Amino acid sequence: MALFYPFEMERYLETLLGERDPLLREMEEQALQETIPVVTPTVGNFLNLLVSMCKAQEILEIGTAIGYSTIWLARAAERTGGHVTTIDMNKARRARALVYFARAGIQNLITALEGDARKILPKLDSTFDFVFIDAAKGEYLEYLSLIYPLIAPGGLLVVDNVLFRGWVVPGSTFTPKYDRMVNGLRQFLDDLCQNPDFTTTVLPFGDGVSVSRRQNAKCDNRYSTQEPR
Ligand SMILES: C[S@@+](CC[C@H](N)C(=O)[O-])C[C@H]1O[C@@H](n2cnc3c(N)ncnc32)[C@H](O)[C@@H]1O
């Protein structure tokens, strides 16, 4: 896991979380062994806290992988009476996630859709009061425009990896093969932070997490001609 600030600090913050349940631990181990880029435990805990705080009912995640962050979200949904819809295009990972959901005993709280989020999102006909993006970093701008009409007024949008190893900060040095991704993330953050319909803050823990709240009042929508549903 690449981190924006010293690894030691993330480790320390992890110790403050206390004991995680054995299933989450097992998933962390699996992810580490197979280099599956799941959220850090501190980010998972943060997602759980946010869902609980805003009493989210309809939760959407883009990027299930093996379901680690989904379980953090769904455990909060259990308390709020909510439901999680999660999307991933990787069939094998989705299959593994389903097994973990069953083992966690929360499969009834989760709908796991398989396919490209860019194709699935336009077909969804519900609105969501909590959206978490953690999929292909180069596609974040596309997700944003597709998700925009799906976020309920007053809803939260949380996005992982927005500082991508700290390289999104101007003046950072990194190998040129990441140019496109880093520039895409800079553009994404600029768009998000300048959108008058969102109030956004970027938190420098994990790999950088943005949290945006969609305004209650209807504003000019730069992304879509559709009304919020
Ligand atoms: C960083 S991993 C998600 C990790 C997960 N959120 C967690 O923390 O446990 C990103 C996932 O996004 C999926 N993905 C990438 N592009 C996608 C797309 N266009 N549509 C759906 N899934 C996509 C990948 O298959 C991968 O499993």
pLDDT at 25: 96
Q: Is the pLDDT of residue 219 over 90?
A: no
pLDDT band at 1 (very low <50, low <70, confident <90, very high): very low
What pLDDT is attached to residue 7? 74
Question: What is the pTM for the complete model shown?
Answer: 0.93
Could you give phi then psi for residue 51, rounded to 5 degrees?
A: -60, -45
Segment 152-181 mean pLDDT: 94
Closest residue by Cα to atom 14, ligand 1, is 135
Give the per-residue pLDDT at 226: 52
Q: Can you say whether residue 18 is alpha, beta or left, with left for phi > 0 and alpha for psi between -120 and 50 degrees?
A: left
Written out in words, the top-level CATH class of the domain with range 7-213 is: alpha beta
Check residue 11 and give its pLDDT. 86
**Measured from the CB, is residue 37 less than 6 Å from ligand 1?**
yes
User: CA-CA distances (angstroms) from residue 164 to 2, 22, 28?
Assistant: 8, 28, 20
Ligand 1, atom 22: closest residue by C-alpha: 88
Q: Whose CA is nearest to atom 27 of ligand 1?
A: 65
pLDDT bucket at 209, cuts 50 / 70 / 90: very high
Q: Which residues sit opposite 84 in a β-bridge? A: 59, 110
Which amino acid does the sequence have at 69?
S
Distances (CA, A) of 103 to 24, 87, 107, 121, 222: 11, 19, 8, 28, 42
- Residue 16 is encoded by which pair of tokens? 């403050």
pLDDT attached to residue 9:
85
CB of 65 shorter than 6 A to ligand 1: yes
What's the mean pLDDT in 94-123? 98
Report the chain's mean pLDDT, rounded to a whole number.
92
pLDDT over 50 at 208, yes or no: yes
Q: How confident is the model at residue 2 (pLDDT cuts 50, 70, 90)?
A: very low
Which residue's CA is the closest to the ligand 1 atom numbered 4? 38
Please give the pLDDT value at position 4.
46
Q: Show me where the domains of the chain are located.
A: 7-213
Asked if residue 118 has its Cβ within 6 Å of ligand 1, the reply is yes
Cβ 63 under 6 angstroms from ligand 1? yes
Nearest protein CA to atom 1 of ligand 1, as residue: 37
The larger pLDDT score, comparing residue 216 to residue 211, is at: 211
| pLDDT tens track for 16-43 | 998 889 999 999 999 999 999 999 999 9
Q: Among the atoms of ligand 1, which is closest to the Cα of residue 93?
A: 27
The pLDDT of residue 225 is above 70? no
Residue of 39, 62, 93 best suited for mutating to test ligand 1, as the one with most atoms within 8 Å of CB = 62
